[in-house]
Structure formats: structure tokens, C-alpha cells
Amino acid sequence: MASEPLIFELASPGRPGVRPPLPQFDAVDPAAVLPEGQIRGALDLPEVSEIDVMRHFVRLSQRNHSIDTAIYPLGSCTMKYNPKINEVTARLPGLLEPHPYQPESSVQGLLALIHDLEAVLAELAGFATVTTQPAAGSQGEMVGLFCIQAWLRSRGERRTTVLVPDSAHGTNPATATMTGMRVEPLGTGPDGNIDLAELDAKLDDDVAALMLTLPTTLGLFEQRILDVTRRVHAAGGQVYGDGANMNAMLGRVRPGDLGIDVMHLNLHKTFTTPHGGGGPGAGALGVQAHLAPFLPGPRFVKTDAGYALEPAGPDSIGRVHSHVGNVGNLIRAYTYIRSLGRDGMREVADDAVLHANYLRARLAPHFDIPYDRICMHEVVLAGTRQRRLGVRTTDIAKRLIDYGVHPPTVYFPLIVDEALMIEPTETESIESLDQFAEALINVADEAKAAPDLLHAAPTTAPVRRLDEVTANRSPDVNWTPAD
Amino acid sequence: MKFPSDARYSREHEWARFDGDDVIVGITPYAADELGDVVYVELPAVGLHVEVMDEFGTVESVKAVSPLYAPVAGDIIGVNEALDGAPELVNSSPMGDGWLIRVRPDDHATAVEDLLDAEAYDAFVDELLA
């Protein structure tokens, strides 16, 4: 497949894209009215016709893999189908067009929507209140840890250690470090659960929080979760829940009921706002009542006079986003929740878990599964059997591209050798799940019979294997004119 | 896998080899292979003193960032500056040009005595790959 030129390389001087109407007024010479230093020369923009632009971007989109193309089983990313009705509601003029500084009385509908979204999320996850201000899961984590720090300060305590199981998302230790805390890792037992003896040994009066990914990145539910949260609380610490995997629990488990004090929800994963294109995300944060005074403001409130934005209180950690967060995504998430309703939420979790377990059962004869028990929304395989044939997980992933499916997450979690982390989500049909399983089984057979097919893959994609070292160390992302 | 018998090895997959009064330290070919393509190596300041199992840097590959653990105790008297521009040396020559640090051991006589010899490390890695 020929490489697609940059749009600058498609340009031809003098070729217009759009012919604007002639001005209805007399032209003014800028030099006559503006100081010399404020007059701009020509901008170096590509001169292309509308059809050139259209074809260029359609060709690029055709080279992309998206959830609208085929299954996208990227573990821990919840790449579910995003219903198109979300795009309709997010474009309703009354929701699309308001200005952030418009009087509250003129945007009552939008304020009501976000207020109700926060209330529904709080109900779903079992928290006293939710803020939708954070713009990403990682920002939600940071706000959560700041709230824990502020709560500790309010009690005259200073604690600096955050316990993080080695089955947590990588953002958890990163967030703890970014907030100035010290990360202490916790090991995972052979059953895939936290090692309680190690937890007890590490729980001291410097532990501010345990950051728990639930279900874990092994796709497993922490079976002694109540013991874990009880012990952390007894030691004076808080439990932060990473809710990125909430899809497995919707309508079935409320993390707040398990003793989790604060947790973020990735609206761009669980609640079908678009992601995978680099954002924007939305990381709503739920907290128990004792942490509520520390949340960022303003807060959405309902008063006798209608809906309003209440400024942050004296204990708030302050604002973390301009205005009120990524509103477009909040509208999409609300639409999704209202489209499905309470029973629909439960079906999401049931089907997400069923699909992952269906794949686990189909793939078990062909791959090693180190922590092999009923899983939640995702299943983690190990390419260790294939490694003995001289084939690495990278090769398996690249070969899957030739079968027209997106590879799963690979080499994560770090505690599984040659990991293949598969999250099919609830939106795939059984035919789609079968197609994916058969592709993976074919690749496992090829690893035995014709391993060079895997080493050479991908062969049908727009690009072959990339030079990942150069891409990491010296990426060339600039374009400069030929002259 | 087979590893050179002139070096000793840690269970964290570092090797240590005497060079006169000093010990040269790097990561083993097994570790380099497991990490995948190395894109960056973060090395310590010369002069730092390390105990056995102290973290003395990190190695970043296209897959993950991994800590480096000192296999011997002593003063770090040199680091492999070449890795700054050419971290791929860790993959192409993990026990040669891809070395990491030069250590002046606290006790030359006992510096590597707790480390595995090549045969024991062979067996250790074979077990990991089984």
C-alpha cells in the first residue's frame, strides 16, 4: 500500500479549498490602520481543494482500526461500542452551544443533566457524592489522593506511604509518586489475591492509603476485599479504588459498599464516551461523606431556585479543570446511562463477564493461563507455551493484525510472563467472539507449524513492523518544506 | 541458555565480572531478551555507594521500565557513558559493550561469593523458561 502523503505535500499554490463570498464592505489596507509590528505575513497553510482534503482524511481513516471496524479487545481499556445516539444528544443546540459564562438561569437543563449524572454515578458506585470535574482517570486518581491527604491533615496527621498491589494499573504508583507520596508494592498470592500477611506486615501509621484496582489487572475479583479494606481502616488508612474496570461490576457490586473510600470512574471506558483517539477523557470521582468537603469546586447543586454551581468550600483542594470538566463527554455518559436504565446497567456487567469467560474457556486448551479461575471482564493469557517454540507474545499480537482483529494488550500486567490481556466487552456478538477466538487459535497453531509467519507479521497492514526503538527515542514528527 | 563462566550472576539477572580491582556490572542476555528493545538506561552518579540489592538505576524498554539492582556492594567509580546515545548496546552486547557500571567493591575477596555461578544461573533461567 502506497504511503499517504502529508496534507502539506498535497498542496498546490493557488488551489483554493473554499471560495469565500466577496466582502460586502470596502477593503481596508491593514498597513493604514495597524502598527507595523502587528501585521502578519502569509500563513504557511496547505492550499488544497475540498475533495483533496476529504479523500486524504478518508484514506487515513480507512487505515485505522476502530471499534466501528471490528473487535478491539484491548485489555483494561474497555473498548466497547459507543452508541451513535450519544453523538445526537451531545449536539443538541441547548447542550452544545452554551457559553461557560452564561447566567445559570439560562442553562438550567445542562446543569440539571450534570447534577443528575453525578447523582446516578454516586448511586451506581455506592458513594455519598461524585464530582465530574476531572478530565481523565489519572486526574481523578490525583484528586482522590489529594483529598485523602487533605482529610489526614484535617485530623492533624501526616502519612506518606501508599501501598500498591503489583496487580494494579500502572497509573496508581505513578499518581502516588506525582502527589509526593512513597510507593510500597504489595505482592499477589498464587490465587491472584492480595497476600494478607504481607499487607498486615506493611500496614503501619505512615500508610495513607492502599490503591486497589478492582477487579485487578489479572481480570480477577479480590476475593478477600472486605478483609483488605477493614485492615487498612483499622490501621488508620484510606482505600483508593481504581474504577477503570467498573464495567465488570455495574449494577452488581457497589465499590462504596466494600469499604472503598474514594474511586474514579472512567466515563470514556465504562460509559461509552469516545476514546482511543487521545481524548478528551472524563474521570468522575466518587467519595464517601467524610471526604466530600475536600472535593474540587464548583459543585453542581439543586436549590429551591433551581440548579446552580456552588463555589468550592473552605476545605476544598481547589479547582482541577477550567469551568466544569469535559461537558460533551458528560452528556454522552448521561445519554448512555439513561438509554440502558438500571436493568441495562446490570446486563452490561453480566455480558462483559460472560464474554471474557467464554473466551477463557475457548482459549484455555491453546494458551497457558497462570491465574486460572472464573474471571471478570477480562482474561489474561500467557504466551509461555509459544515462547518455547521461539515465538514471542509480540509475534502473536502482530500476526493477529493479519487476521483483521486488533491485538489485545500485551506484556501487561507485568506479573504475567508474555502476557496477553483480553477484554472483549459486552458489545461483541457470539459470532464476533468466535471469530476472535478462532484467529487466536489459528495463530497458536501457526506458532507450531510455521513460526516464521508470526515473525514476519504483519503482512497485510498498511505498515509492517515498526522500529519501536527509533519511534521512542527520536521520533520525527516535524514537516519542513522541501526548499 | 548458556552463560559465560567468567562472570557471576544474581537472581535479579545482573552479572558481575572482575576486572582487576573492580567489578563490572551489567544485565544478563536473558534479561536483555526478556525486556525487548532497550530505549533508555538511567545510570547513577559516579561516587555513589551501593549495598547489595540497592536500586542503582532503571532500564526502559519498549515494554516496561525495570529497576536495576546492585549485585555487589561498593563505590560506583564509573558508568557506561556510551549507553546515553546507544542504549541498544544492552541488547546487542549485554555482557560486553552494553555493560552498565564499574564498582570498586568494599571487600574484593567476598564481593561475588553470594552470587550464582554460570551453571547455577543456567539452571535458574531454565526453570523460569520451563
Q: Which domains does chain A have, with CATH numbers?
A: 1-63 (no CATH), 85-339 (3.40.640.10), 344-470 (3.90.1150.10)
Radius of gyration of chain A (CA): 26
End-to-end CA distance of chain B: 11
Query: Between chains, do B129 and A394 touch, taking CB under 8 Å as contact?
Result: no
List of domains in chain B: 8-129 (2.40.50.100)
pLDDT tens per residue across span A130-185: 999 999 999 999 999 999 999 999 999 999 999 999 999 999 999 999 999 999 99
Taking each helix axis from N to C end, the angle separating A108-125 and A327-363, rounded to the nearest 10 degrees, works out to 30
Judge whether residue A2 has pLDDT over 80: no
Q: What is the mean pLDDT of residues B44-61?
A: 95
State mean pLDDT over B7-18: 96
Q: Tell me if A411 and B64 make a contact (CB, 8 A cut-off).
A: yes
DSSP string, A101-129: TS-GGG-HHHHHHHHHHHHHHHHHHT-SE
In the numeric block, which cell numbers belong to residue A401?
493484525
Q: How confident is the model at residue A19 (pLDDT cuts 50, 70, 90)?
A: confident
Helix (H, G, I), strand (E, B) or coil at A133: coil
Q: Provide the shortest C-alpha distance from residue B97 to chain A (in Å).
A: 18
What share of chain A has pLDDT > 90, as a percent?
84
> What is the arithmetic mean of pLDDT over A25-37?
88
B25 closest CA partner among B113, B86, B104:
B104
Say yes or no to pLDDT of A1 above 60.
no
Rounded Cα distance, A249 and A242, in Å: 13
Residue B39: closest CA among chain A residues belongs to which residue?
A469
Cis ω on the peptide bond leading into residue A370 (within 30° of 0)?
A: no
Give the per-residue pLDDT at A333.
Answer: 97
Q: CB A472 to CB B64 under 8 A?
A: no
CB contact under 8 A, A469 and B37: yes
C-alpha distances out from residue A151 to A112, A159, A230, A236, Å: 29, 11, 18, 12
Task: Give per-residue pLDDT as tens, A203-242.
Answer: 999 999 999 999 999 999 999 999 999 999 999 999 999 9
Position B128 scores a pLDDT of 87
Do the Cβ atoms of A469 and B63 come within 8 Å? no
* Residue B36 to residue A394, Cβ atoms within 8 A: yes
pLDDT in tens, A281-323: 899 999 999 999 999 999 999 999 999 999 999 999 999 999 9
Mean of per-residue pLDDT scores for chain A? 94
- Going by pLDDT thresholds of 50, 70 and 90, the confidence category of residue A275 is confident
Lowest mean pLDDT among A16-20, A91-95, A270-274, A305-309: A16-20
A80-101 pLDDT, tens per residue? 999 999 999 999 999 999 999 9
Tell me the pLDDT tens digit for each residue of A98-107.
999 999 999 9
Question: Which amino acid is located at A235 in the chain?
Answer: A
Question: What local confidence, expressed as pLDDT, does residue A471 receive?
Answer: 84
Cell representation of residue B114: 553470594
pLDDT per position as a tens digit, A378-437: 999 999 999 999 999 999 999 999 999 999 999 999 999 999 999 999 999 999 999 999
Chain B interface with A: residues with Cβ < 8 Å: 36-40, 62-64, 87-88, 129
Q: What is the nearest CA distance from A473 to chain B, expressed in angstroms?
A: 6
What residue has cell string 482524511?
A57
- Interchain contact, B63 vs A411, CB within 8 Å: yes
Looking at residue A255, the DSSP 8-state letter turns out to be G
Position A141: which residue type?
A: E
Burial B59-71 (b: 16+ CB within 10 A, else e): bbbbbeebebbbb
Look at A118-127, A157-166, A282-291, A458-467 and tell me which has the smallest mean pLDDT: A458-467
CB pairs under 8 A between A and B: 22
ipTM: 0.72
Nearest to A468 among B62, B64, B129 (CB): B62
Q: According to the model, what pLDDT value does residue A475 have? A: 86
**Residues in a beta bridge with A186:** A165
Instruction: Report CB contact under 8 Å: A469, B40.
Output: no
Set of cell numbers at residue B68: 536495576
Digit-coded pLDDT (tens) for A240-250: 999 999 999 99
Cα nearest neighbour of B91 on chain A: A469
What pTM, to 2 d.p., does this model score?
A: 0.88
Question: Between these two residues, A2 and A122, which has the higher pLDDT value?
Answer: A122
CB A357 within 8 A of CB A380: no
Which pLDDT does position A483 carry in this prediction?
A: 64
**Secondary structure letter of residue A237 according to DSSP:** -
Q: What does the alpha-carbon distance between residue A375 and residue A364 come to, in Å, rounded to a whole number? A: 13
CA distance A470 to chain B (A): 8
Residue A265 forms beta bridges with which residues? A243, A284
One-letter identity of residue A472: N
- The residue type found at B129 is L
